[in-house]
Amino acid sequence: MHWVLLANGHCQLAPRIQNLLSTADRLVAVDGGGSHLLAMGLTPHLAVGDMDSIPSELLELYRRQGVPLHLHPPQKDATDLELALHLAFAGQATRITLLGATGGRLDHTLGNLFLLSLCQAHSVPTCIMDAAQSVYLADSFLELQGTVGDTLSLMPVTPQAAGVTLSGLEYPLQNATLHFGTTWGMSNVFTSSTATVRLETGRLLVFHLHRD
Amino acid sequence: MHWVLLANGHCQLAPRIQNLLSTADRLVAVDGGGSHLLAMGLTPHLAVGDMDSIPSELLELYRRQGVPLHLHPPQKDATDLELALHLAFAGQATRITLLGATGGRLDHTLGNLFLLSLCQAHSVPTCIMDAAQSVYLADSFLELQGTVGDTLSLMPVTPQAAGVTLSGLEYPLQNATLHFGTTWGMSNVFTSSTATVRLETGRLLVFHLHRD
């Protein structure tokens, strides 16, 4: 079951994102992210948020439409998106896509990227997607479908990522070690429609920047 | 000696940033970042970049002005900003500020944030600053001057950050452990003009969001 969570960062309606929204099994409005859905004429299956950050008219609309609401006070120990992810795990999500998770406050964006590790701990493949890119957290194997010329950047979020082997890319690493805080893995280029990332230890944030 | 490196992300001229530029001992144009300096009528002490990404008219101007140039081919194993940091370390920098390091491509922004660990390895206190915020990487103690109401977000970039103690903030942690990939440390609030972050093990990205 594919859950799509819409947070309140930027959300530009690229065709890739429209396709995704039309095939979601569960569509979740996270906090102000519901406004993006409203602009597209979509009603979420459920809404999650602070009592003070969901726009009141949207909250009223959701109540009228009978959308299940998961409201909680602003003074809490996790962000709305983290709480929404826990609902997805409990709801048998087998795949999660996060939209509107980038482009706002930088600390929020980074917090959202790091939440991918929570999804990994729950064994649910998760992607953060915006109009420009798809971001994944890899700890073993990842296969990406793209276009020749797409950009791929790898960034360890562990002290190192070892046994890194890449295929389908201009700089095909073989059993390499990437260290946290160096920029060696930045801006590789797709030379095929399929690229693969394999690693033995550590974790890599993988940025796939789409040309189209 | 305070080195200020200007990369080619966003650079909005907040008063905080203007003050900083006027007191820099070494001003470095990194790649297209030189265009920001040109717009401010400033000439860097040196320029670093790919041979294909410094605008050609700027390169020509620098040659006429006698600005030392550190050019290198685009096919390299580190970003321009990483190479510029190594020049700062070699040039006896005792403090570094990175401007224009946020707001562009997300993989670049994240790569720049993670470069703070390279500065830590060289024992040079470094801050990434933009109009909205100052970002640090803390591994022991950090004191921040701010304004009541400023936001502080903490994010471990190690599996955990332990012995975390905060003061001057609305949620003053005491010997707490923060885990990678959870959002517990987000959006704390300054209750004093000075906030402190102390930790015993691990490393924390610290985002200080300025109200003014």
pLDDT of residue B16: 86
Q: Which residues of B touch A161 (CB under 8 A)?
A: none
Q: Which amino acid is at B131?
A: A
pLDDT of residue B33: 93
Check whether A55 has a pLDDT greater than 90: no
**Rounded mean pLDDT of A71-81?**
81
pLDDT of residue A13: 78
Q: Which residues of B touch A158 (CB under 8 A)?
A: 159
Domains and CATH numbers, chain B: 2-131 (3.40.50.10240), 138-209 (2.60.120.320)
Percent helix / strand / coil, chain B, rounded to 5 = 25, 35, 40
- For residue B196, the tally of other CB atoms under 10 A from its CB is 15
pLDDT of residue B119: 97
Task: Compute the Cα dihedral for A93, A99, A104, A109 and give only its sign.
Answer: positive
pLDDT of residue A169: 98
Chain B interface, Cβ < 8 Å to A = 77-79, 81-82, 102, 105-111, 113-118, 121, 132-133, 135, 151, 153, 155, 157-159, 180-184, 186-187, 205, 207, 209
Residue B185: pLDDT band with limits 50, 70, 90 = very high
Residue A197: which of A152, A159, A157, A158 has the closest Cα? A152
- Helix A106-114 to helix B106-114 angle, to the nearest 10 degrees? 90
CA–CA distance, B121 with B118 (Å, rounded to integer): 5
Find out whether B3 and B93 touch, Cβ atoms under 8 Å: yes
pLDDT more than 90, % of chain B: 78
Query: Torsion-angle region of residue A106: left (phi > 0), alpha (psi -120 to 50) or beta?
Result: alpha
Q: For testing the chain B interface, which of A8, A81, A85, A106 should be mutated: the one with the most B CBs within 10 Å?
A: A106
- The dihedrals phi and psi of A160, each to the nearest 5 degrees, come to -150, 160
pLDDT more than 70, % of chain B: 100
**Rounded mean pLDDT of A118-141?**
97
What is the residue-wise DSSP string for chain A? Answer: -EEEEE-SS-----HHHHHHHHT-SEEEEEGGGHHHHHHTT---SEEEEETTTS-HHHHHHHHHHT--EEEE-SS-SS-HHHHHHHHHHHTT-SEEEEES-SSS-HHHHHHHHHTHHHHHHTT--EEEE-SSEEEEEESSEEEEE--TT-EEEEEESSSEEEEEEEESBSS---SEEEETT--TTS-EEBSSSEEEEE-SBS-EEEEEE---
Chain A interface, Cβ < 8 Å to B = 77-79, 81-82, 102, 105-111, 113-118, 121, 132-133, 135, 151, 153, 155, 157-159, 180-184, 186-187, 205, 207, 209
- The dihedrals phi and psi of B9, each to the nearest 5 degrees, come to -80, -155
Torsion of CA A125, A130, B31, B79, to 10 degrees: 0
Check if the interface score ipTM surpasses 0.85: yes
Nearest residue in A to B158, CA atom: A158
Bigger pLDDT: A74 or A43? A43
Torsion of CA A120, A182, B112, B70, to 10 degrees: -160
Place of tokens 């079951």: A1
Check whether B52 has a pLDDT greater than 80: no
Bigger pLDDT: A84 or B79? A84
Both tokens of A74, joined, read 């602003």
Q: Can you list the positions of beta strands (E) in chain B?
A: 2-6, 26-30, 46-50, 69-72, 95-99, 126-129, 133-138, 141-145, 151-156, 160-167, 176-179, 188-189, 194-198, 204-209
Q: Which residues of B touch A10 (CB under 8 A)?
A: none
Write the residue in B78, B113, B135 that is nearest to A184 by C-beta: B78
pLDDT of residue A11: 87
Residue B47: pLDDT band with limits 50, 70, 90 = very high
* Burial bucket for residue A27 (CB in 10 Å: 0-12, 13-18, 19+): buried
CA–CA distance, B206 with A50 (Å, rounded to integer): 24
Find out whether B124 and B95 touch, Cβ atoms under 8 Å: yes
CA–CA distance, B108 with B104 (Å, rounded to integer): 7
Place of tokens 């992210």: A33
- Strand pairing class (A95-99; A2-6): parallel
Residue B206: pLDDT band with limits 50, 70, 90 = very high
Q: Which residues of A touch B116 (CB under 8 A)?
A: 181
